[in-house]
Amino acid sequence: QQQVKQSPQSLIVQKGGISIINCAYENTAFDYFPWYQQFPGKGPALLIAIRPDVSEKKEGRFTISFNKSAKQFSLHIMDSQPGDSATYFCAAEALIYGGATNKLIFGTGTLLAVQP
């Protein structure tokens, strides 16, 4: 129940195309869903996040779509650029035994390559 399943494992997109990464979860207690972006040799960095009370959040070329009933959420990268080539992790925030900590459960990651 604590898992977050992410697909695909890798993705190749042409410059200008749309990149789509999907995640699914089981635990209905999750209430915060961030996406992290990681470049080679660097740590993950927060890209965009959503709460389950909204169905979509857009920041520039990046959009999260959230389907609460299906327990699924996805990241869409519009007009993908070579500089977007990175590993993307979805995550979900859970409480630990009702305590106030933002423990994150991460998906397994998607390696995105945007070809020029």
Binding map of other proteins across residues 73-92, x = CB under 8 A, - = no contact: ----------------x---
Which stretch in 14-22, 39-47, 54-62, 68-76 sits in contact with other proteins by CB under 8 A?
39-47
Pairwise CA distance, residues 75 & 66, whole Å: 9
Contact (Cβ atoms closer than 8 angstroms) between residue 37 and residue 27: no
CB atoms within 10 A of CB 66: 19
Q: Does 112 bind other proteins (CB under 8 A)?
A: no
Closest approach, Cβ 15 to other proteins, in A, equals 27
